[in-house]
Structure 1
Amino acid sequence: MAFNVQKNGKSIPVTLRQLEKLGLYRVTTTSPYEKGQLTFEGVLFRDVLKLVGLEGEDSVALRAVDEYVQIVPREDWTEGPLLLATRQDGKLLTRRTQGPTRLIYPLKDYPAFDTPIRKPRWVWLIKTLESGG
Structure 2
Amino acid sequence: MKRLFAGPCLFLFAASVWSAAGYSSYSSYSPARPQPTSLAPLSGELPVIALGIRGSARQVNTAELERGMLYQVRTRSFWPADDGVYQGPLLADVLSRYGMGKVKAIRVFGGDGFSQLIPCEDWERWPLVLATRREGHPLSRREKGPVRIIYPRDMDKTLEDTLYRLRWVWLIERIEPVN
* TM-score (structure 2 length as normaliser): 0.70
Q: Gaps (5+ residues) in structure 1?
A: none
Identity across matched positions, percent: 33
> Is 1:53 aligned to residue 69 of structure 2?
no
Shift of 1:36: 7.5
2:121 to 75, 83, 86: 75
Structure 1 or 2: more strand by fraction: 1
1:90 to 121, 136, 151: 136
Query: Which of 1-10 and 101-110 deviates more?
Result: 1-10
**Is the 8 Å Cα contact of residues 84 and 104 (structure 1) preserved in structure 2?**
yes
Q: Gaps (5+ residues) in structure 2?
A: 1-46
Q: Which secondary structure state, in structure 1, belongs to the residue aligned with residue 163 of structure 2?
A: coil
Give RMSD over aligned pairs: 1.5
Q: Which secondary structure state, in structure 1, belongs to the residue aligned with residue 122 of structure 2?
A: helix
Shift of 1:108: 1.1
After TM superposition, where is structure 1 displaced by more than 4 Å over at least 4 residues in a row?
none
The one-letter code of the counterpart of 1:104 is I
Question: Cα–Cα, structure 1 residues 12 and 75, in superposed 2: closer, same or farther, change >3 Å?
Answer: same
Shift of 1:132: 2.8
> Is 1:130 aligned to residue 160 of structure 2?
no
Query: 2:83, 2:48 → 1: CA distance?
Result: 25
Look at both structures and tell me which one has the larger radius of gyration over its CA atoms.
Answer: 2
Q: Which secondary structure state, in structure 2, belongs to the residue aligned with residue 96 of structure 1?
A: helix
Structure 1 or 2: more helix by fraction: 2
Shift of 1:87: 0.4
